[in-house]
Structure 1
Amino acid sequence: MTTSPLPNFFVSNGVLRANDAGQELYARQTQIRREVQALDHAWVGAFFAALFVRHAWLASFTVTITASYEIDDDGCHFRSYSTAVDEVLNLADVAVPQDVSDGGAFDSDLATDTLRDTIDEHSGDIFAAVMDDETDEVTIRLARSSLAGLLDTSEIDGRTAFAALFPDAEK
């Protein structure tokens, strides 16, 4: 086979082959994809852990992210995400701040809006990290109890948080 210092393809006797540099590049690319996926998982774990840290009143909630393909005015296709949050529960023994209370009592509608607004900004990143391209909806139940022990530390490891929140995810 013809050698080249750059990744390349060659045809010899009708057979298409990547040179050594090309094969090495494909091997590195596979490893990089795994590392990027692990980093994306770490980001999702850290993101949700941060929500529980910032919202000490938050016990659990469910988030559903739906993906759809849309067409803009110029005819270009893009993927759009919508976020729904429900089943928001608070910790009974923790005071709730004004932004999620009505007359001092926990208001689940205000809490839902607060969480949805925060999550919606990142719904595409969350969806991409936890689902494959063939799926158009994901529902995630998140609970403070899943992060027991992690939330009391000065620094939370995103990979550890992801593993705690998504125990069935591929490693």
Structure 2
Amino acid sequence: MIFILDRNTAANLYLNLLVPWETVYRDIPEKGGFDIRSKEFTAYKRDNKFEIKPLNTKSESDKEINENLSFGSEARQLAIFQIGNNSRARSLFKHLRNSVAHAHVERLKIKNKWFLIFSAKSDDKYVLKAQIQESKLRDFIAALKSTAKNI
């Protein structure tokens, strides 16, 4: 069963993801301004078994997401997303921001843990589907921000 976001989670997403993107991170160059291999993000992925699957085109991301619509059935953290002309980290950040801005975030309980399911579409094709454990959201956002260079 899907639930609406509570105020604390909504505020956390707005203040820690959307506003920083709009005020700082959006203007960082598409290429070379972010590095998905940052120490903090790499540690987050390893420690939390967070899987990422960046794909080059909308068609590829849409196909992969539609073929793997097991989101919500397994208690795991993952993100499938389109890179486009951006770096991997910038693309993930941008798509998550768009998901929050357009209210495409759902809360779901899986095996006694709360997860946030993010989705974003462009031209009716998925460009993002992500599942992040709610209790790890702040750490995830901090790790994602660490991918920006010279901040």
TM-score for the superposition, normalised by structure 1: 0.26
TM-score for the superposition, normalised by structure 2: 0.29
Higher RCO (CA 8 Å, separation ≥ 6 residues): 2
Tell which structure's C-alpha radius of gyration is larger. 1
